[in-house]
């Protein structure tokens, strides 16, 4: 599977994703400049975290209208995979590729910490192979990660099983105390209706080697590549 990592002015997790994909996941990967529209050689486009365009106007707003994000519309329509983490999630929402919006954290603090995520839907291309009730540990690092969707959108999201990750306790309890930013119903990540676009606030690329303190972020890549389904070695802890 060939990956592209998008670089906007102000992106900061691009090198981390590039490293993890090439050195840990061992798949071909190239950078994609934000003005590029040609994604024909790619199977999965990654929108990394950071502060694209300095978060001017709103986090992800300017990047959400960039040439590469416009090109993602066709890319997604023909079945390409898109993974947006942190600022990438904000960009996907601002660009209309995912429902809802991300707002300033309710606590008003920038939150940089480890989080436990309950995998609510194990039938997406990014989570298949995980057992129901799987809990992943990944760090967050953001000031504007409070997910918001109006009640009607929220009902639709749940009915279509588009909520993929919720902030939870280490044993998978979705409770208010485990919610780091005030996200509605503890939502940490969602997919589009087709299931091929995933946005999440946590950073899978920062949980990809033992030296980083955990490797749960790799599971998303292994799921996407099909290896998680094949060997089925990942079990709930």
Partner 1 sequence: MRVRVLVRLKPGILDVQGAAVQRALLGLGFGDVRELRVGKLIEVEVEAGAAEAARARVDEMCRKLLANPILEDYTIETVEGERLAPH
With CB under 8 A as the contact rule, which of the stretches 69-77, 80-88, 111-119, 144-152 interacts with partner 1? 144-152
Q: Is 61 in the site for partner 1 (CB under 8 A)?
A: yes
User: Pick from 12, 8, 56: which is nearest to 36 by CA?
Assistant: 8
Task: Tell me if residue 112 is catalytic.
Answer: no
Residue from 35, 78, 108, 210 in contact with partner 1 (CB under 8 A)? 108
- Residue among 108 and 177 whose Cβ is closer to partner 1: 108
Strand, coil or helix: 200: strand
How many other C-beta atoms lie within 10 A of the C-beta of residue 159? 8
**Out of 28, 33, 57, 193, the residue judged to bind partner 1 by CB under 8 A:** 57
Least Å from the CB of residue 93 to partner 1: 8
74 binds partner 1 (CB under 8 A): no
**H or E, element range at 220:** helix 218-225
Distance CA 150, CA 154 (A): 6
Which of 18, 86, 94, 142 is an active site residue?
A: 86
**24 versus 61: smaller Cβ distance to partner 1:** 61
* Structure tokens given for 228: 């998680």
C-alpha distances (whole Å) from 136 to each of 41, 83, 146, 171, 219 are 31, 17, 19, 10, 9
Interatomic CA distance for residues 191 and 237, integer angstroms: 24
> CB-wise, 105 or 124, nearer to partner 1?
105
- Determine which residue in the list 66, 105, 179, 196 makes contact with partner 1, applying CB under 8 A: 105
> Residue for token digits 């416009």?
70
Note if 34 is an active site residue: no
Q: Which of 6, 32, 63, 149 binds partner 1 (CB under 8 A)?
A: 149
* 1 vs 29: CA distance, rounded Å: 9
Active site residue 93: no
DSSP 49-95: -B-GGGG-SSTTTTGGGSHHHHHHHHHHHTT-EEEEETHHHHHHHHT
Residues binding partner 1: what is the number (CB under 8 A)?
A: 17
Which residue in the set 37, 104, 128, 160 belongs to the binding site for partner 1 (CB under 8 A)? 104
Rounded CA-CA distance 236/136 in Å is 9
Residue where the block lists tokens 């590729």: 97
Least distance CB 8 / partner 1 (angstroms): 15
Only segment of 40-48, 146-154, 198-206, 227-235 that touches partner 1 (CB under 8 A) = 146-154
**138/154 with CB nearer partner 1:** 154
Residue ranges that bind partner 1, judged by CB under 8 A: 57-58, 61-62, 65, 94, 100-101, 103-106, 108, 148-150, 182
Q: Which residues are catalytic?
A: 86, 203, 205
């Amino acid at each position: 599977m060939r990956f592209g990592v998008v670089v906007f002015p102000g992106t900061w997790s691009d090198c981390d994703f590039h490293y993890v994909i090439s050195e840990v996941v061992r798949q071909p990967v190239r950078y994609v400049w934000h003005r590029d529209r040609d994604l024909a050689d790619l199977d999965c486009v990654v929108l990394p975290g950071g502060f694209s365009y300095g978060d001017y106007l709103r986090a992800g707003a300017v990047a959400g209208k960039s040439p590469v994000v416009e090109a993602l519309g066709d890319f997604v329509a023909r079945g390409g995979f898109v993974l947006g983490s942190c600022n990438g999630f904000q960009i996907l929402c601002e660009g209309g590729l995912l429902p809802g919006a991300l707002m300033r954290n309710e606590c008003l603090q920038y939150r940089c910490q480890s989080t436990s995520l309950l995998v609510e839907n194990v039938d997406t291309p990014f989570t298949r192979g995980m057992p129901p009730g799987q809990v992943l540990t990944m760090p967050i690092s953001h000031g504007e990660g409070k997910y918001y969707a109006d009640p009607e959108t929220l009902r639709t999201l749940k009915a279509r099983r588009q909520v993929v990750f919720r902030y939870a306790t280490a044993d998978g309890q979705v409770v208010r105390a485990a919610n780091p930013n005030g996200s509605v119903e503890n939502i940490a990540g969602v997919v589009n209706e087709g299931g091929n676009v995933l946005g999440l606030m946590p950073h899978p690329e920062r949980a990809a080697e033992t030296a980083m303190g955990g490797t749960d972020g790799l599971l998303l890549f292994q799921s996407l590549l099909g290896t998680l389904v094949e060997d089925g070695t990942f079990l709930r802890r």
